[in-house]
Structure 1
Amino acid sequence: MLTLRDYDNSDIEALLALANNKLVSRFLVYTFPYPYTRADAEWWISAGVKAEGDVTKVIEYNGQFAGSVGIARKTGWRDHLAEIGYWLGEPYWGNGIATQAVQQMTDYAFSDLKLQKLYALILAPNTVSMRVVEKCEYELEGVLKREVFKDGQYYDVHRFAKVLKI
């Protein structure tokens, strides 16, 4: 069973154990460091998940901390949309958990937050993540060439989006 819930200080150990993995961080944003330290986990739980306008949840699978999903709301003339992001610890890969979490967060963003559009930015080699959003009916809007420089190389970014159906 999958649930999305708020972070708690008791999540530090599980967060640290799953996040300190190069295979987890390799396609994530630069603010998700590797190595992932206790200080990173403590900061994330005390401040990082509390960014104004953002909603970040623990993905809990069968009662265990499995990863995280969140949305970062935009402001001004783009305040009707948000970027969605997610990650899972390696032991939880390949079970459809990310797809369930993205779908739950998407439904919440459209129904409760009244957002009109969500988008995901996915590095080109991360085809598994592309498949996750496709299963949730996100569509490819475009490819941004050499958009990201990470770990000594440039990556194309695939932008997927889902618009609220009216």
Structure 2
Amino acid sequence: MKIPLGDFYIRSFEHSDKDSLVKYANNTNVSKNLRDRFPSPYKDSDAEEWLMFACNQNPELSFAIASNKELIGGIGIVPQEDINKYSVEIGYWLAESFWGKGIATAALSELTKYTFNNFNFNRIFASVFEGNRSSERVLQKAGFKKEATLRKAVYKREHFLDQYVYSILREECLIIK
């Protein structure tokens, strides 16, 4: 799978992404805004484990954000279960040297459309930690609406933080197209 984003694109992960994955993911400015299951420090073994998982997904739900030269981030969806089976969580990260260029917004917008066009989900949501205003702006620019504040729900780096939930519905995405 390959979705163009101007000078960048969303594509399938490849085992050859290991070096750039370690290079860009091993950054506390990136990991501080992600869940603890995203390792920090990010080692070769973490990249190998992730790539083994991502390259063997069926259906494919995790993707690389890349330039023509290398991986510069990741984006993916996690389907929910039971009564939430028509909802999917979306998450993303981008190498710090590529922040502020509209890449995350473009990737989020395109994967949102891809998800609604290729799966039967009604709602896509994302969670953002308190203080991550850049990610909030990315979600807002991609048409997501803030729907909840989970007060002091996150424990990250020895602090309790609010967690903000943003979402977009299938019908709203059709309007944005």
Name the TM-score, length of structure 1 as normaliser.
0.94
Partner of 1:23: 29
Deviation at 1:82, TM superposition (A): 0.4
Counterpart secondary structure, 1:43: helix
Distance change in 2, residues 1:51/1:150 (3 Å): farther
Pick aligned residue for 1:88 from 87, 94, 119: 94
Q: Which letter maps to 2:126?
A: A
Deviation at 1:33, TM superposition (A): 1.3
Instruction: Show the 5 A alignment for 1:123-142.
Output: 123-142=129-148
d(CA) in 2 for partners of 1:54, 1:61: 20
Distance change in 2, residues 1:34/1:105 (3 Å): same
Partner of 1:32: 38
1:54–1:71 contact (8 Å) kept in structure 2: no
Partner of 2:50: 44
d(CA) in 2 for partners of 1:53, 1:10: 21
Instruction: Show the 5 A alignment for 1:41-120.
Output: 41-47=47-53, 50=56, 55-120=61-126
Partner of 1:5: 11
Counterpart secondary structure, 1:47: helix
The number of residue pairs the alignment matches comes to: 166
d(CA) in 1 for partners of 2:56, 2:151: 32
Q: Note the alpha carbon deviations across 1:39-69, whole angstroms, 9 max, x for none.
A: 1000000025656766100001344311000
1:2–1:100 contact (8 Å) kept in structure 2: no
% identical equivalent positions? 31
Partner of 2:4: none
Counterpart secondary structure, 1:145: strand
Gaps of 5+ in 2: 1-6
Counterpart secondary structure, 2:113: helix
Moved over 3 A (4+): 48-54
Distance change in 2, residues 1:35/1:68 (3 Å): same
Distance change in 2, residues 1:139/1:54 (3 Å): farther
Q: Which letter maps to 1:18?
A: Y
Q: Note the alpha carbon deviations across 1:66-107, whole angstroms, 9 max, x for none.
A: 100000001222111100000001111110000011011100
Partner of 1:164: 170
Distance change in 2, residues 1:55/1:11 (3 Å): same
Gaps of 5+ in 1: none
2:22–2:44 contact (8 Å) kept in structure 1: yes
d(CA) in 2 for partners of 1:163, 1:49: 28
d(CA) in 1 for partners of 2:118, 2:8: 19
